[in-house]
Amino acid sequence: MEQNEEKYNIEESEIAESDNLVFDKRQNDDNYRLINPDGTFNIERKGKSGANIYESVLTLSWTKILVSFLIIYFLFNCVFALVFMAIGPEFVVGAKGNTWFEMYTQMIYFSIQTFTTVGYGRMSPQGNAANLVSAFVAFVGLISFAILTGLSFAKFSKPKAHILFSDKMLIAPNANKNNSRSLQFRIVNAANNQIIDLQARVTLAWLEEVDGQMRRRFKRLDLEFESIHLFPLNWTIVHNITEDSPLYGKSLQRLIDNKLEVLVLIKGFDDTYSQIIHSKRSYSCIDLVDGAKFIPMYNNKESTTILDLAKLNDIELHEFN
């Protein structure tokens, strides 16, 4: 990149500063990012959360949800089995066992059969107390499976953006601007669903020393095209490094020293779910390749265009004049 750093200038009114984002100078390079490469926020929340249980569960993975429900399912039935043992195992007709543990195991099996409303018929409650507890166990079972069904539907019906980002961002020539320098990265839809009215917002973040403290500063990057109507192929997002760009005249080492981070937010309309979808990620200086350009991902075959997702990260070196 150009070494003429004197031309680099940003008006204070254009900078968004967050006073609470203060960093220790000794902080290692892995912790300064706002957004991780996988799109998750590099933020650890402490204190009371404003989210309810339903919202918290929806953010969990399928594995965590199923494991959590299996644990709750088992613990519920262990507790209900203790209640049946307190009432007396003789009030559960068909329960057999010579020791306390064997009878407790039988009560767990009976509770599971009642909880799931299976009812094989070998064991059945007898007496008011055992029947009341059985009715309560069946009620809790129905509510539990209704909640699990609702959560499953919510997880399945929630649209997810299958947008892939290139691993690297490039200082590449812009053919539309006489091969002048530009910051580029590209995205592609990995699914077969149709996304329309796709929009991109790119923000530059860096650390700057103010009154002896490192603070995070922000500036919106102007893009050659901030939106496209259709997204059937890949989209190379381009920021031209002109004199108005905050990247103009900045050496690569200066960007590294300032802990450069490029924050990317993609928003579009998913035609399959008829809902707005979002996708985000960030790039740091270790993801920057100075002097390269992307290799096209698609080619024509008879009357069809072939889009090769495996070529998303294919680049070739380029020397600027």
Given the candidates 2.170.130.10, 3.20.20.110, 2.60.40.1400, 3.40.50.980, the CATH classification of the domain at 5-44+161-317 is: 2.60.40.1400
- Residue 25: per-residue pLDDT: 43
Domain ranges of the chain: 5-44+161-317, 53-157
Q: Give the integer Cα–Cα distance in Å for 63 and 46.
A: 24
Measured between alpha carbons, how far is 128 from 148 in angstroms, rounded to an integer? 30
Q: If you average pLDDT over residues 72-90, what whole number do you get? A: 94
pLDDT at position 35 over 60: yes
What pLDDT does residue 12 have? 35
The distance of Cα 118 from the centroid of its chain, to the nearest Å, equals 39
Distances (CA, A) of 186 to 86, 130, 156, 253, 277: 65, 65, 28, 24, 18
Enter the DSSP assignment of 123.
S
Residue closest to 216 by CA, chosen among 227, 230, 206 = 206
- Measuring CA to CA, how many Å separate 203 from each of 6, 222, 291? 22, 9, 22
| pTM, two decimal places | 0.69
pLDDT value at 102 more than 60: yes
Q: Which CATH number is associated with domain 53-157?
A: 1.10.287.70
d(CA 320, CA 98): 87
The span from the CA of 131 to the CA of 199, in Å, is: 60
pLDDT tens for 184-204 read 999 999 888 889 999 999 999
CA distances (Å), origin 193, targets 39, 187, 230: 21, 15, 12
Question: Has residue 90 got a pLDDT over 50?
Answer: yes
Confidence of residue 126 (pLDDT cuts 50, 70, 90): very high
Distances in Å between the alpha carbon of 161 and those of 35, 164, 192, 273? Answer: 17, 9, 11, 11
Question: 100-115 vs 128-157: helix axis angle to the nearest 10?
Answer: 50
Banded pLDDT at 31 (limits 50, 70, 90): low
State the virtual CA torsion across 99, 102, 104, 110 in degrees, nearest 10: -140
Please check whether residue 313 is in contact with residue 37, taking contact to mean a CB–CB distance below 8 angstroms.
no
Q: What pLDDT band is residue 11 in, cutting at 50, 70 and 90?
A: very low
Q: Which H or E run includes 75?
A: helix 62-87
Contact 227, 198 (CB under 8 A): yes
**pLDDT above 90 (res 301):** no
What's residue 9's pLDDT? 38
Q: CA-CA distance, 92 to 165, in Å (whole number)? A: 60
Look at the chain and count its residues.
Answer: 321
Kindly state the DSSP code that residue 255 receives in the 8-state scheme: H
d(CA 280, CA 165): 9
